Each structure stands twice: as structure tokens, then as C-alpha cells.
Chains A and B, each alone.
Chain A
């Protein structure tokens, strides 16, 4: 049973957004990390890069495969989680604690098209 946290926004491609004021912390869900297996590399954008809702902004990789990261929202990257550069496996330890990028949201109305915890739980069938 995967962990799902109330109050976050979820995408169909298994990213979450945790909103704090004008900022969103984006990562992959616990369900996604479990499906992917041991994360060995996280391909992250750089600070000041723009991300666009529905477009990829990097990838998480297991030994076997690369999985694109799709941004659930649009905005400007203000921080990347540098701890993941040395220890990508942190995502497996706690996917919600170990967000990947922090974005200054350019259009908060985009959040309305994302799922809440209950809807995401339904989608993954748990």
C-alpha cells in the first residue's frame, strides 16, 4: 500500500505538488518510486529554468530504465534538491520528503486540473 498525503496535488503521471504560498515543491509519488525501483540518477533542470505544465523537466532513472518527469504546473525553478545528486536513493526512502524541484508558480489555476489525494488514490487502485 503506497503512502498518499492529503493536501497535495497529484498528476496522472505520478508527480505531486506541495504548495506553500506562491511556490510548489514537485516530486514523484511513493507509488511511482515503488514502481520504478531503486533510483540511481535524477536528471534535474537548473535554477531559473522554466517548466511548463504537461512537459518534461528531467527524468528519474533506475538501473534498468529512465522515466521522464512531467511538470504538473508551470513556473520558474527556484531551487533543485541537490541532495539527490549524491544520493538519488533518498527518493526511495521518502518520496514526499525528498522533492525534486521547487518552482515559483506562474499560474495557480493550473492546480485545479490536478487530482487531490482521494482521486489519486482511486486512480492507482488503492
Chain B
């Protein structure tokens, strides 16, 4: 049995524009339109637009919505008000990661969850299963929404001039609902690039119209290729690489999104507390290599002759012009400044443990 590949509402446009298409998370998605470097630089220096309609959406409503959302989420939704957004994870009881996600606080009994495309079926089943003992309604809404991400230093200007949406009132990780062509859309100041930018959730017909307006205005369409190089440089994890059922947010050193002491606890809380107290056997670190050779996912990391871990993501960074990587390594060798090495085919290259955030993000706080 092969599962039929899915498409987003913008699929025909990507094909007509000559994008290189490839399956990702069950969807036939654009990898690049021109080339990764051009698209990457458009986002870093000007503006670019991504089709991220493959992302999943789940709305949780009802009297227990706040209590339930906080119970399945590592961050603390009691720290935000309506109109604000939090990033965090859903965990298994052992601390392994179900998914990483955004939670939009619509109001006190209404939370909008944005989840990874590859995990939609798994996440929805997981959320439904956990919801049994709570007075909530879990509404899977992925089919209702197309989504675009407008990213880059000129994003605010582009939103205003091209899409006629005023976003000057939005700060980083806030959102608003507004009427557009007679329908309610969601606009948030969020993204996955390390630049200022916005994400728009709307009816697929509206998303298609917005895409056409952006293309007519000459905005660079960007594929998943540069989405990965951009998020990587900014130190952001990709589910499947840096966070997995085996890699907890504690091991991945994203503990800042895990609120161990919040009221009511959450699934995976005790495992995380133990991991934090005892230290996980492995931890995620940044590595900087000498030379231009490129460390790729799965390559071995060595301490002398011993294999001490593997690369989770690596590139020759476009914005920094050097080879850098995330690697999951033995905690004992993961101290900043430590010298390790990476096996790249037949050769071994020295690598220094550095901070994971290679590029300093330019968010509008």
C-alpha cells in the first residue's frame, strides 16, 4: 500500500512557476524555485514568501481548554494573554518528543495549535487520546487553512503595501484575527527563519489570491530548501532531526520551553525534571568545522578514535560562509570550546563545540 501524495492549495502555482518539487511529510512541496542561496539571501536581506500550507492546525475549545492545553504542552499558557503565542513541545511520559508546536491563545477557552505536517495524524490521535478526561472539544482544522509565511526585514512593508494588511500593531509572537474578503483570517508575527516576518492562516482561495499578489509584486518565492538553511542558522530545531521520540527537549537543550514548575504539571514533566537533575546521556551541541567540507545528517562525531555522537543537521552556512552543524553527542564531550571531529566520507575534520545559534535573529520584539 502506498499512501497517495498530498498537495497544498498552491501546488499548481509551484509547478507552473517551475519549482523543483519533492515529497516532504507526505506532501509534494517546492524545494526551490531558483536556488537555495538566492532564496535564503532574499529572506535575510529583503523578503521572501513560503507556502507552508502543509502545516497542521488543531483548535481546542471548551471549559477545560486552558487546563487541557497546558497539560499536553511543555510551556506555560498561563503566562500569555489572548492574542499571544507560545512555542513549546508535546511530550510522551518518558520525555520523548511527540511534536514541537505553536499555541495561539485566542481567548481563555480557545487555543489554536499549529503542528508539523509530518506529525498531523499522530498528533491529532495523541491529543484526542489525552482529551478523554477533559471537558474540551478537539477540532482538527488542517483542511480549512492554507498558510503562507512572509519573511525578511521587508516583511512588514510587504504585508502593508502588497497584501493591504496593517501589521504594525503586532509584536513578535502575537497575532490577530481580521476580516479579509468576507472571511476571518489569522495573521501572526512568527516564522521559522530567524528574521522578522508573518504567517497568514486563511481559506485556501484567499491564500492563493495573496500568493498571486505577492508574485505580481515581485516577492521571491522560497522553497523548503532555504527554509531549512534559515531555521538551522537561527538555532531552531526541526522535528525528526533535533527533536524526536528519542530526543527530549532537555537533551536538545531547549529546556527554556519546558516549564517544570507550572501549575498542574504536564505529560512528560517528571521525566524532564529527572533528566534536568541528572543530565541526559546525550546533548545537542553546535559544531564549527575547519574547512569547507560539509557535515550532513547522520555523519559520525568523534572524540579521538571514539564515536561520541552524530550530526543532526549541518550545512556550509550561507550567511556565515562556514561549515557548522547541530550534533547529538555524549554529554561528557559537549562542553563549549571542546575539540571533536567529524567523519566526512574518508576524511576526518576537526570541529569545535560552539553555541547552537549561529546567526543572531532579527525579531521585532
The interface of chain A, by Cβ under 8 A from chain B, is 37-38, 40-41, 43, 56, 58-59, 61-66, 68, 85
Kindly provide the distance from the CB of A52 to the nearest chain B CB, expressed in whole angstroms. 13
B344 interface residue, CB < 8 Å from A?
yes
Q: A59-B345, A63-B229 are in contact. Are A43 and B36 (CB under 8 A)?
A: no
Name A40's contact: one of B31, B225, B316 (CB within 8 Å): B316
Q: A38-B35, A41-B316 are in contact. Are A63 and B225 (CB under 8 A)?
A: yes
B25 interface residue, CB < 8 Å from A?
no
Are A43 and B293 in touch, CB under 8 angstroms? yes
Are B35 and A66 in touch, CB under 8 angstroms? no
Question: A61-B294, A63-B318, A68-B345 given. 12 additional CB < 8 A pairs?
Answer: A37-B35, A38-B35, A40-B292, A41-B292, A41-B294, A41-B316, A43-B345, A58-B345, A63-B229, A65-B296, A66-B296, A85-B292
The interface of chain B, by Cβ under 8 A from chain A, is 31-32, 35-37, 225, 229, 292-294, 296, 315-316, 318, 344-345, 347
Name A64's contact: one of B36, B344, B345, B347 (CB within 8 Å): B36
Are A66 and B36 in touch, CB under 8 angstroms? no
Cα A62 to Cα B36 in complex, Å, equals 9
Cα A62 to Cα B35 in complex, Å, equals 10
Are B344 and A43 in touch, CB under 8 angstroms? yes
Kindly provide the distance from the CB of A2 to the nearest chain B CB, expressed in whole angstroms. 16
For this complex, 15 residue pairs linking A to B, each with C-beta atoms less than 8 Å apart, are A38-B35, A38-B36, A41-B292, A41-B294, A56-B345, A63-B36, A63-B37, A63-B225, A63-B315, A63-B316, A65-B296, A66-B294, A66-B296, A68-B345, A85-B292
Among all A-B residue pairs, the 4 with the closest Cβ atoms: A63-B36, A41-B292, A38-B35, A61-B294
B318 (CB) vs chain A CBs: closest residue: A63
Are A41 and B35 in touch, CB under 8 angstroms? no
Kindly provide the distance from the CB of A87 to the nearest chain B CB, expressed in whole angstroms. 11
